[in-house]
Amino acid sequence: MKNIQYRGKQFMKIKLFVLAVFVLLTCLSVAPAQTKKVAEGIRAVDFRNRSYSFGEGDDEQTVKIRNGKAKLNNGGEIYEVRKNDVVYGDVNGDGAEDAVVRIRLTTGASLRGFEIQAYKFRNGKAEMMARLDMPQVQEDYTKEVCCTGEGLKIKNGHVIFEALTDGEIFLSYEKITTFDYNLSGTELVMNVKPQSRKKP
């Protein structure tokens, strides 16, 4: 009789163990593992925390952007790379993602410059392919370009962005103009005639 009771208890323990394992496996299969997605390729580069060359000739300088911003000359010059200033797409046509970064410059209340830089991912790091500054955009447009707008994207290999135009200082601009550039060798060149609309 004791033998039967002992076997009965052993059977119950085994049954409970099997049930517990079944419940655990069911929970694991129903609830997917929460894994953090790790950025790869060009997206692994932190473009809001790095150094950039800005300007050209005697005006060129290295700017260290930290958390999207840098202040030089006691805050007289503010450089920014906002979240919407970094976009991804294939610029050079090699089938891999590239990055286009817009760096903004504010000097005082009226002067606001910008530079567009295109990067590819090579040997585990970002490598600059081309850069385009505001004076070149103004030369291509043949009218005043006073600062950058908000729009920036890569579409079919083209770098498309907005700038505020037809005005001498920030508060006097009259139009928002869309520019379309593409990569030619080591330069970004204007692809189509800029399209302008009156500011709201």
Please check whether residues 125 and 82 belong to one and the same domain. yes
For 75, the 3-state DSSP assignment is coil
For the segment 148-167, the average pLDDT, to the nearest whole number, is 92
- The burial class, CB within 10 Å (0-12 / 13-18 / 19+), for 24 is exposed
Please give the structure tokens belonging to residue 28. Answer: 């694991």
Please check whether residues 11 and 52 belong to one and the same domain. no
For the segment 153-169, the average pLDDT, to the nearest whole number, is 90
Each as own residue / partner, the long-range contacts of residues 189-195 (CB below 8 Å, 24 or more positions apart, any chain) are: 190/140, 191/158, 194/140, 194/141, 194/165
Please check whether residues 175 and 80 belong to one and the same domain. yes
**CA-to-CA distance for 59 and 137, rounded, in angstroms?**
17
Per-residue pLDDT at 7 exceeds 80: no
**pLDDT-wise least confident of 61-70, 158-167, 177-186:** 158-167
Please check whether residues 8 and 87 belong to one and the same domain. no
| Residue-wise DSSP of 26-45 | HHHHHS----PPPP-GGGGS
Please check whether residues 24 and 119 belong to one and the same domain. no
Per-residue pLDDT at 191 exceeds 50: yes
**pTM of this prediction exceeds 0.85:** no
Average pLDDT, the chain: 84
Confidence (pLDDT) at 71:
93
**CA-to-CA distance for 158 and 59, rounded, in angstroms?**
28
Distance from CA of residue 70 to its chain's centroid?
Answer: 17
Parent domain of 63: 41-198
Residue 30 binned pLDDT confidence (cut-offs 50, 70, 90): very low
Domain count, the chain: 2
Please check whether residues 61 and 159 belong to one and the same domain. yes
The answer to whether the beta carbons of residues 7 and 15 sit under 8 Å apart is no
Confidence (pLDDT) at 173:
77
H runs (alpha helix) in the chain: 2-30, 134-141
Confidence (pLDDT) at 169:
60
Please give the structure tokens belonging to residue 113. Answer: 């410059």
Please check whether residues 98 and 135 belong to one and the same domain. yes
Please check whether residues 57 and 13 belong to one and the same domain. no
For 1, the 3-state DSSP assignment is coil
The answer to whether the beta carbons of residues 177 and 162 sit under 8 Å apart is yes
Please check whether residues 121 and 158 belong to one and the same domain. yes
Summarised one tens digit per residue, pLDDT across range 58-114 is 888 999 999 999 999 888 889 999 999 999 999 999 999 999 999 999 887 656 789
